[in-house]
Structures are given as C-alpha cells and as structure tokens.
Structure 1
Amino acid sequence: MMKSTNEVVWQTSTVSRQQREQRYAQRGRVLWLTGLPAAGKTTLAFALEQELFRQGRMCYVLDGDNIRHGLNADLGFSQQDRRENLRRIGEVCKLFLDAGHIVIAAFVSPYAQDRDRVRELFAAEDFAEIHVACPLEVCELRDPKGMYARARAGEIAHFTGVDAPYEQPQSPELVINTEILSVQEAVMLMVETLELGAAPEEATLL
C-alpha cells in the first residue's frame, strides 16, 4: 500500500551543505553534459573528474549507461521513459549537491523541455549546462558502440540523431566543440570557464 504524501517528510541532516563545502574547500555544483551519442560526453566527464580529483575536489560522474545498469534499468528509450530517466537523475544530483560534491552528469538528454525541468530543480548558481557539440556525421564516424549503424539498419528504434530528434541547448553556460578541441583542451576550458578550481567563496558561473 502506497503511503500518502503526508507520511513522507524530508529529514534534514544536522550537517549542512555549507559545513560540508567548508570541509571540502569547494562549492558544490551540478555540471550537466548534453549532446548527441558519441559526441564525447562520457570521455569528457571522466577526464574532468580525473582533473578535479587531482586537484583534491570531491566529485563524481553520473553516466547514462551506468545509471541504466541499476537505478533506471526498468526504463526504455521512449520520450516518456527518457523524461523519467532524467527526473530521477536530477533528484540524485540534488543529493550529491547537498553532500557538497561537484557532480558531473553525462546524458544525451535530447529534449529541451526535459533539460529545463532538471535545471529548475537547482538554484542558478548551482547548475551549469554544457553542450558537448559535434556534427552528426562526425559522431557517426566515431560510433564506438556501433549504435548509429544499428539504428540506420533498423535494429534500434528511437535513436537520437537517426529517428529521434536532438534539440540543441539555446543558452548553455558553455559549449565544447569536440570536433575541434582535444580532451585535455576541453577539460581545461571547463575548469577555467566555470572556475571549478576556485575556492568556494571565489567561484562564480558565467
């Protein structure tokens, strides 16, 4: 039997987010990497995590494939399931943020409305949308999992870029063009532009 919402009460920790951030000497942040399949989101997310970890930052990557192995294993790739997938991830990001972490979320997240719903969960200074941009033809040439080829052959339905749309961000905090930039250049651009290496009291977003 499902409990009523009156029985579900948010329990506030006696350790605040601000105390955690002071301990870690950083300000928590949600970095949302969006882009076509094979644009380079996962590669950049883990490279950024490695750099931030090297700097002593508390950070963690939430990757689309990894999440679908467990938390969202029950979801498919219909528009409705994609929306629920991102809703759940947004809530997980909130928990990481409350823990004072920098969370790097790497998801195709093709629909602008769904990304906007995630953004609305956070204060403006806590969230940065990063468009990992790459031409479709370049993504298809990379195709590390052979997904584009399978989608073109009709083996995969609702594949973004083939028979499902990708709505590009209109006002992201940062655009990373992976056709032009190397992984290291992209990581340094994210760190410098978003000031992820600054102390909490000094860090600001675009």
Structure 2
Amino acid sequence: MHFNQSQIDRLVAFKQKDKFSAKAWNDRGLHPSRSELCEQLNGLFNSCADNLIDAVNANATAKQLKAVLKKALSTCNKPDYDTEEKEFIGDLFLELAAIIHIDFTSNLNKWLYGPVLATLFKIKNALNPEKIIKTIQHPCTNCGTTLETYIMRKELGIPEYGWYLVRCNNCKELNLLACGPDIKEIKFGNYEYVETLNKTDYTSYEQAVVRLEQIKFFRK
C-alpha cells in the first residue's frame, strides 16, 4: 500500500479531536459516560491512530492495517460497556477503518453481537449483497475529507427534491450535498445526515449556501 498523506492527515485529525466530549455524546442523544471511561477510550483510540499512522508510513498492506484495528478492538473488554457505549466504540472503529479503506464491519459485528449473529449477518449479506450503482464524492469544506454518498437504485423521472445538509464524521463541519435527479435509493457514507433543504424553498445553490451559513451560526 503506497504512502498516503491524506490518510495520515485524517488520522492526525482523528487523534486530535475530543472524541468523547459532552457534545459528542449529546450529538448521539446520550448523556456522557463517566470521565474515567472516556479518558481510557480516548487513549485507546489515540494509540490505535498512532499505530495506524506508523503502519501507513511503513506502506503496510491492507492485512497489516486490519491487524492494527483488530489488536485495538481486542483490548476493549465488552462487559465493561453498556449498549450505547459499545455502539459508540464501533462507530469510531468504523471511522478509522474508512480512513484507511479497510472493511472492518464483520469484525465489529462479531465483537458487538457474538460469532453466531455475526455469521448470520455475513450469510445474509452474501445472499443479498448491496449493489452500489455509483459513488458521489464531495470534499468536506473544512477538513477536505471525501464525503461519499452511495447510489443504490435509480429510476428515470424522479426529480431532485433538495439539498442534503450533512455533518462530516471527521471534523463535524456542516456541508451541503447535491446528488442529482433520478435517484430512488441512496446510502449515506462517512457523514451524518442532518436535514434536507427543499428545492422549492431554495431553488439555487447560492440560496442553499446562505441557509447553510445561517444554520451554522444559529446552531452553534
């Protein structure tokens, strides 16, 4: 795997952000966990990010990068966490996996749900694989992370109803995305969907951007 400065930058940004801040919990609709647990998890993820940075710098293979994630996950003692904490941990591992382009879903399913359910998930996915028709990419306006939207189904004649207001998983910046017409089903990638600005109210991109800036200001 060739050296990728973009991956390094994103891993550094991941390490620097306060992953378990009160705001991070509030954004998930949850009360913060005890500070000792948050500090322990923050240290775990920072260490994992450091190890991934070293691995990327060393041109590690995909298998070697995945091994770094697996080792970090193995240090998480599942009984120590409640359901919401485990899901939060899983989402952060997925965020790291997305940065280095590693499929870590099966490993996380096994950790979250046990080997039996994880196997059932794998069988279901094998029998009914999701087919991505197209991937639409937009750079985050703040950190430059490529925000990906997956087009799963298309149908002629469906208008583009609005602008998607989304929050970058990497830096939490609000972004405005457009996916175009004829889209019947989409899947959001490495960002959080916030709301849709209807095109009947915001007919042009410029109008939507003005509304985006208003939302950024008033929802601080």
Please, what TM-score do these two structures have when normalized by structure 2?
Answer: 0.33
Larger Rg: 2
- By relative contact order (CA 8 Å, sep 6+), the higher-ranking structure is 1
Answer 1 or 2: which has greater helix percent: 2
- More strand by proportion, 1 or 2? 2
The normalised TM-score by structure 1 is 0.35
